[in-house]
Structure 1
Amino acid sequence: MNLIADHIPRLETERLILRAPSEADFEAEAEFFASDAAAFLGGRKSPDETWRFIAQLLGHWAMRGYGFWGVEETNTGTYVGHVGLWYPHSWPEREVGWTLMNHATGKGYATEAAMAARAHAYDVLGWDTAISLIDPDNHASKAVANRLGATLDYHYDHPKFGRTEVWRHPAPADLVNGGMEAYA
């Protein structure tokens, strides 16, 4: 029994399940954080740091009542990344964020999962705006933000990550009614 994970809502899209992060995600996350792909997330992490990162994802849920979900393919159960809502100390605003494992890129999963996360933020949590904080050189993330209708709003000097771009998502009213049907 995991008291935090038991209270994390499960979301489903056409191809994905967004569920509580778990220790079962460790191997895939450790492989990701040992690769060059981790450059846009603060760089490589040791296995110990990766395990602590997963614990941090769960801790955010406990502290804020929302956070990143572990994402898996509906048909195979394969873990593909973590996507969700984020607002730790030093973040300029509440964020919709995404990170896909190396084997899962280029399939539209980040966009699909981020739409579900954003709908949850707007429809369930009542957010009236959301951002995505993106490294200026992370062109793949900028493409996802663009597909989500977000636009570059301003630059932010993050104390750890340096100069970042803040991409503003459309407000709920600009997405018909903010629900999942608005994203189809």
Structure 2
Amino acid sequence: MTERHEMPPRGKAALLAARLAEEVPELTTDRLTLRAPRVADFELYARIVLEQDGHRLFGLADRAEAWHDFTNYAAGWLLHGHGIWTVTPRSGGAALGFVLIGLEPGDREPELGYLFSPDHREMGHGHEAATEARRFALDTLRLPSLVSYIGADNAASLVLAERLGAHRDHEAEALLGEAGIQVWRHAGPEGGA
């Protein structure tokens, strides 16, 4: 049985939620749409972060922790002006994964993050969505810096960070002080951090 907090809002609350979602910038690429998250998207988010690899990479123990993580990123739009997008095919259809500009407790600077369902990995979706989210963060929001915090054992994300042109920042890793976490810095609009 679906818990109440995982059900979409109804009535006037649904109308308000829809109006707020309209304020989240919708981004498009050749193949993808990055749109505001919806309650219904949580099912995919939970599956990704709680799968065997996801559990190891994200460290979330159960659906309740996954819900808190998902809603933290969604709330980022209200609190920081950036947050999580749900990634869908541009032609419509089911969600493929998520890309985000996040700021969690312990983060020293905004993070570009990406997570996709196993069925949609290694298809270029992560690169395409992350490239557009990075463009928005650096060119539109003009964030002074953007990094990706990546577990040293997350080979796929490390490869993607390199494909995105990010470089490893050992100084930022030392300041972060989290064993096993690498910091990958994304170049700003003029090529700087």
Q: Where do 1:81-160 residues align within 5 Å?
A: 81-154=97-170, 155-156=173-174
Which residue pairs with 2:182 in the alignment? 165
Q: Where do 1:29-40 residues align within 5 Å?
A: 29-38=45-54, 39-40=56-57
- Does the 8 Å CA contact 1:128/1:172 hold for their aligned counterparts? no
Q: Which sits farther off after the overlay, 107-116 or 56-65?
A: 56-65
Unaligned ranges ≥5, structure 1: 176-184
Over 3 Å counting, the alpha-carbon distance change for 1:53 and 1:128 in structure 2 is closer
The residue type paired with residue 41 of structure 1 is F
Which residue pairs with 1:174 in the alignment? 191
Q: If each structure's strand is expressed as a fraction of its own residues, which one has the higher value?
A: 1
- Does the 8 Å CA contact 2:87/2:99 hold for their aligned counterparts? yes
- Does the 8 Å CA contact 1:60/1:67 hold for their aligned counterparts? yes
Query: For 1:56-97, what per-residue CA distance to the aligned partner results, in whole angstroms no more than 9, with x for missing partners?
Result: 221111110111111111234221111021122210211111
Which whole-Å CA distance do the structure 1 matches of 2:174 and 2:78 have between them? 27
Displaced runs of 4 or more, over 4 A: 156-159
Tell me the CA shift for residue 129 of structure 1.
2.6
Which residue pairs with 1:77 in the alignment? 93
Q: If each structure's helix is expressed as a fraction of its own residues, which one has the higher value?
A: 2
1:17 aligns with 2:33: yes
Aligned Cα RMSD in Å? 2.0
Q: TM-score, normalised on structure 1?
A: 0.85
The residue type paired with residue 163 of structure 1 is G
The residue type paired with residue 167 of structure 1 is W
Unaligned ranges ≥5, structure 2: 1-14
The residue type paired with residue 168 of structure 2 is L
